[in-house]
Structure 1
Amino acid sequence: MNNIIHFIRRYPLSLLCIASIWYLCIWFLPPELPELDNVAFLDKWTHFVMYGGTCTIIWWEYLYNHERMSWFNILQQGWKRLLLFAWLAPILMSGCIEIVQEYCTENRAGEWLDLAANATGCTLGAIIGLIMTFHRGKVR
């Protein structure tokens, strides 16, 4: 139980983003906005931004919680953890959400292109996280 409380205290924004994604993708029905019908791939851009932002926040909170570590030590010791929790886990969560949308909801449909947009957003978030890590090393 103490580990869960510790995790919630260290990663509140990440957990809020993850909970928001689940809510928006499963239970929220977006309103019909005819003025946005001309925006190509609006749904995919939304997925891209949601997952890119979430991965960036996960990375930022990790760096904030390990601020005493040098950028070299973060990449040497934490790269597997960051790869798992800030890149792969959100992509796997995205796949789970798409499956739930397809088979467990009546008004939503799972799409492979949503999963691709989510994975692309996660990859961009990881790249931004690497840039933040190296920039942090230059600032010190």
Structure 2
Amino acid sequence: MFHFLRKYPFSMVCIAMIWILSLVPFFPETPLDNVEFADKWVHILMYGCTFIVVWIEYTCKHKQADYEKLFFWAWLAPIVMSGVLELLQEYCTFGHRSGDWLDLAANATGVTSAVVIGALIWYFRPKK
């Protein structure tokens, strides 16, 4: 785990923030609470931005892409993590938070968008 923290510090901080924000027992009321699907947009942006950071750090640290690792760590693992967090919200927050399948879909949309943007970053990165 410390290897990842040293090699990808910004990614690890962003992922830790997702865990914290997902499991904090309450959020204050905001004017956006009445906007339909505002929560889903937050999920898309949160996961999209986090995993764009993963792609940028990966691009900066590697000369050659390992597509099997990227498939797992930059697409599949974040979606599985999102599912785990939704289950934890539903069953382990004592009613303070609720898990939602649409949140999982929004998170997967954000991660998939990050993969597309990350692949473009990788393709157009300056060659050394």
For the 8 Å contact 2:25–2:97, the answer to whether it is kept is: no
**What pairs with 1:95-110 in structure 2 (closer than 5 Å)?**
95-106=83-94, 107-110=96-99
Cα deviation, residue 30, structure 1: 1.8
Conservation of the 8 A alpha-carbon contact between 2:4 and 2:12: no
Percent sequence identity is 50
Q: Which has the higher helix share?
A: 1
Alignment TM-score, normalising by the size of structure 2? 0.92
Larger Rg: 1
- 1:40 CA displacement: 2.3
Task: Evaluate the alpha carbon distance shift between residue 38 and residue 103 of structure 1 in structure 2; reply closer, same or farther with a 3 A threshold.
Answer: closer
Residue 55 (structure 1) aligned with residue 44 (structure 2): no
Aligned residue in 1 for 2:74: 86
Long gaps (5+) in structure 1: none
Q: Distance in 2 between matches of 1:116 and 1:55?
A: 15
| TM-aligned CA deviation for residue 55 of structure 1 | 1.2
Instruction: Give the TM-score normalised by the residue count of structure 1.
Output: 0.85
Secondary structure of the equivalent of 2:124?
Answer: helix
**Inter-CA distance 63–92: structure 2 relative to 1 (3 Å threshold):** same
**Quick check: 2:25–2:93 contact (8 Å CA) kept in 1?**
no
